[in-house]
Structure 1
Amino acid sequence: MVGSKDMPPLTAPLMPNQFVRAQFCYKPVLPPPHTDLSGQVVIVTGSNMGLGFEISRQFLSYRLSRLIMAVRSLDKGKVAAAQLQRAYPQATIEVWKLDMSSPGSVRAFASRAETELPRLDVAVLNAGISPMHLTANQETGHEETIQVNYLSTMLLLALLLPILKSKSPEGIPGRAIFVSSVLATNAKLHGADAPHTPLLRYVSDFRTRAFDPMEQYCTSKLLGLMFLWKLADCVSADDVIVSAVEPGFVKGTGLARDARGATKIAVSLFGAATGRPVNDGASTILDAAINHGKESHGCFLMNFKIRSFVPSMYTAEGRERIDSLWEETMREPSFQDVPGILEQMKRAKQ
């Protein structure tokens, strides 16, 4: 099977070509009817509502034994967990605190997983935001979309790798899946190549340019795919299968909950007309976790198939940006021990 890196980049325009085909021309690919997840443990972040809640429900529907619902609000998480518990009384459903705005909370969550979970089979990193207004993260100074969707997500992914490796059954690799988006194609990064301007600083610095929420969301998703490009070289598919999944444009996820006025109305109408039902969007995650094997390691999955990355990533300039972003990310204060973790994973791969 050819991986995403080795595929030719898509040349068809995202709008309307790819979007129309994705939203209206694909049917969900469900796990085999005999799928039985008894004994398995799954983490789903952002699981108290929308896509994360439905992902959790679908895992439970295949007799999952233990679900960890990682949420920012414990009260909201407990309400969602109670609803799932009534439908699946035989499962163990727990609500754990995880604030993706805080690297400290991310580390505390990973430490708890290492200490308390005797087994971990799948981690689905679904939590994400798309704020309408510019906000700087109080802990790191990065723009909040970049902090949550990229830095904290990739930090959690890296911290969970050795846990997934050591706590999955022998001979069966753990799986780490993060929710991505083909909208990464629309990230522009204009001006990011100015001399001595680190990419991470550029995407959080709006002193000389206007903040565009949609552009920033696209950029955060592109950074995640760029990180995956390099990460796959550090991790063996025999240890952990890591992939990024595009669930499609899904209505009712709450991603645009900060929108107001005409923007909120437009998003609602567009979602009603073109959005995938949330169960169809969630099925893309189940497909990646259950139907795909080692061939999907380091890949971008869309419409239930392995697809190529964003076209800009295949250019010489794109490859330079990938290398630069990787080095910058590894120098982030919250990533202080990540290079060591990845080096250990890489040595195990060899």
Structure 2
Amino acid sequence: EDEIKEFTRMMTALTIDTRSIKDINIAERNQLLLSIGEIIPGHNGRRIDGKILKKRDISHSGIGINLGPNTYASDSGKEVYAKRAGHIVWKPEENLLDIEPVYIVEGNVDFSEGNIQGFVGKVIVKGDVKPKFKVVAHGDVEIQGTVEDALIRSTNGNVVILGSVVNKSDGLIQASKTAHVCIATNANIKGQRIVIGSPGVVIGGVLQAKNLIQANSIGSESGVATKIHVGDVKALRERLRALGQKASADSALLKELTEVIKLLEFKETSNTLDSDQANLLSKARTDAPELKGLLEATHEEEIEIKREIASRRPARLEVMDTLHPQVDVWLFEACVTTQAAEKFTGFRCKDGIMQRYSL
């Protein structure tokens, strides 16, 4: 059994991710990029024929390279720092060191480019993102081609996809802010807001937004399974109920511990506490503060969830042309499955009931 585990560990270590072939050198703002050490003067030497080989004089001033606009040198001139966060670029033909806040892929994200992960600025891909590849950035992500079965994520910005999004097996489009897509087929898209621009077609898949989903056409005449979640708070409500139950149980336990501590401390002051009771008192004194901390954390999470639920109350779905039959719509606390095509209709939830309004 140990041999099998060791073999598995070795094979895992030898596994190569063929989609992660390129490292993006990332710098934070004011990060040290380059440091020149002290220059130690050399000495004259001799060649094999006995002639003197004179030492080369090396200048003590400057770093000897050109600095781009997003870098700066220290007062001593021996260190170079990043003026802003971004991609570290070295151009040997220009002897230039710089920081680029935008990472541009001129072609496709495929085996020739590899995954793009962890970039702190904006990423622009001028081609397609091929199946199973990833583009993950802190800033905005713009894909000018098609995305198929790939992961596209902005952890603190928008995602814009000018081509189609097609999922056959898996894949995810996720934006911290707004996800802009033109055509989504069986796609899995998440964002604060989701805007399906021209032609604005959604067929199949799952769209999940906190505040707004806007599209021209959702679903299809053939009834392809399409699920729309806007401001859906079902999971939050369930979590809130679970936290309430946990808080109730922890409060009861804390009350019991407090009574035990009070009783045993009375025995302690009257010198009637035996060794078992002393151990119990010690444990109760340790457990009570920990339980108080857990209750405070639970209360803070409850407040945060209630705040999140309140922020989703104005959520709405806007269909600028046609919402087809058999589309499942979850909107705040309401849910409906469309039975017939609806035109130029907006949806919002009031008092747990789905309301429609004309666009």
Aligning the two structures, in what range does the TM-score lie when normalised by the shorter sequence? under 0.3
Q: Relative contact order, CA 8 A, sep 6+: which one is greater?
A: 1
Normalising by the residue count of structure 2, what TM-score does the alignment of the two structures yield? 0.21
Normalising by the residue count of structure 1, what TM-score does the alignment of the two structures yield? 0.21
Larger Rg: 2
**Structure 1 or 2: larger helix share?**
1
**Structure 1 or 2: larger strand share?**
2
